[in-house]
Amino acid sequence: MKAAIVHEFGPEDVLRYEDVPKPVPGPGEVLIRVRAAGINRGDLGRRAGVYRGGGELPLIVGWDIAGDIEALGPNVSGPQQGARVAARIPQGGYAELAVAPAAWAIPIPDGVSYEQAASLPVAYLTSWFALKHHGSLKAGESCLVQAGASGVGVAGIQIARGTGARVFATAGTEEKVALARRLGAEVAINYSTDDFVQVVMDQTRGRGVDVVLESVGGDVLTRSVEALAPFGRLVCVGNSSRQPAPADLTQLLTKRISLFGFYLGAEQGTGAALSELLDLVSTGRIEAVIDRTFPLSAAAEAHRYVGSRSNLGKVLLIP
């Protein structure tokens, strides 16, 4: 089979489109014919060798896949051969075939495309658990979503809106700001021209927001603390800037702020949550926002595109 494989860590061109051995499903696993694979920012870090626990070489990255079950491993009694499924897998998504634990292969509802399904697992599950579980966002509260046009951002805006919260979002271009507004951000802020802390404080009459969904790190995280209301909650789901984020202890103490670090791999119940998200897409209550697709053979080009931060929503590979 064909795959985009990494033999050495480095820039985008280390992704090589090659023939590799076909994976064999073990006990409790299924073999999936991949129809679409999602690209996450963590994939770029794994390719470059800077993602903690990124895997050993040679490496086929890719956590998000959607496709058809082609074969069942021993002791599988769940999904059947031929079923359309989406899955979040430990690695191996950038390939024509991939193996997944059977329990992680979630049926795709009628009317939901492979591309839509493959865009959901990491980004939408991250926002789902960060906001609904760790951030405990409630109807009537307010939420600031940083990087609102990213995969996590477009998910976070919609999930916060669906919770009944007032949504603020940041983005770096007017096109991205427009997307955030279309998805449900009542206040969409262009951080390249406006001070997001000042806008939040102006719009909340000096109170701040109840929850921040933060994925950038560095100064963005530090200033996000300033934008929180008393007893506010900040959930950090990433550090795309790769910069340290000193926190003002005076802010933390006087406003009694809670900071949460988030790691999707440690969450329980992701299968049920992904099934619910797929249903929400099926009924039109959540939009799977897809920027563009690339053929699997152009994985290096796709990584360059995502690395440039040009995308509005998810970027996918099509085997």
Identity of the residue numbered 126 = T
Q: Is residue 279 one of the residues assigned to a domain?
A: no
180 SS3 class: helix
Q: Is residue 243 one of the residues assigned to a domain?
A: yes
The angle subtended at Cα 273 by Cα 270 and Cα 274, nearest 5°, is 85
Domain shared by 171 and 93, yes or no = no
The predicted pLDDT at position 149 comes to 93
Residue 101: domain span: 2-119+288-318
The predicted pLDDT at position 250 comes to 72
* Rg of the chain, C-alpha, whole Å: 20
Cα separation, 292 vs 37, whole angstroms: 12
Domain count, the chain: 2
Strand partners, 30: 72, 100
Domain shared by 194 and 110, yes or no = no
Which CATH number covers residue 210? 3.40.50.720
Alpha carbon distances (Å) from 241 to 45, 46, 149, 154, 313: 12, 15, 16, 19, 18
Domain shared by 197 and 139, yes or no = yes
- Measure the CA dihedral 6/153/136/164, to 10°: -150
220 and 243 Cβ atoms separated by less than 8 Å: no
As a whole number of Å, the end-to-end CA separation of the chain is 10
Q: Is residue 255 one of the residues assigned to a domain?
A: yes
Domain shared by 55 and 162, yes or no = no
135 and 141 Cβ atoms separated by less than 8 Å: no
Write out the two tokens for 124.
């939408």
The predicted pLDDT at position 56 comes to 87
Domain shared by 208 and 306, yes or no = no
Q: What is the DSSP letter of 74?
A: T
Domain shared by 204 and 307, yes or no = no
DSSP string, 200-230: HHHHTTT--EEEEEE-S-HHHHHHHHHTEEE
Cα separation, 243 vs 266, whole angstroms: 24
Q: Is residue 303 one of the residues assigned to a domain?
A: yes
User: For every one of its 319 residues, what pLDDT tens digit does the chain have, with 9 covering 90 and above?
Assistant: 999 999 999 999 999 999 999 999 999 999 999 999 999 999 999 999 988 777 789 999 999 999 999 999 999 987 889 999 999 999 999 999 999 999 999 999 999 999 999 999 999 999 999 999 999 999 999 999 999 999 999 999 999 999 999 999 999 999 999 999 999 999 999 999 999 999 999 999 999 999 999 998 888 988 999 999 999 999 999 877 777 767 776 777 788 999 998 889 888 899 999 999 999 999 999 999 999 999 999 999 999 999 999 899 999 999 9
pTM for the model = 0.94
Long-range contacts, 246-249 (Cβ 8 Å, 24+): 246/222, 247/221, 247/222, 248/222
Q: Is residue 274 one of the residues assigned to a domain?
A: no
3-state helix, strand, coil in the chain (%, to 5): 35, 30, 40
Domain shared by 243 and 299, yes or no = no
Domain shared by 199 and 248, yes or no = yes
The tally of CA atoms less than 13 A away on the side-chain side of residue 45 is 14
The predicted pLDDT at position 249 comes to 67
> How many residues are there in the chain?
319
Strand partners, 95: 3
Cα separation, 136 vs 163, whole angstroms: 10
Which CATH number covers residue 30? 3.90.180.10
- Measure the CA dihedral 275/104/120/23, to 10°: -150
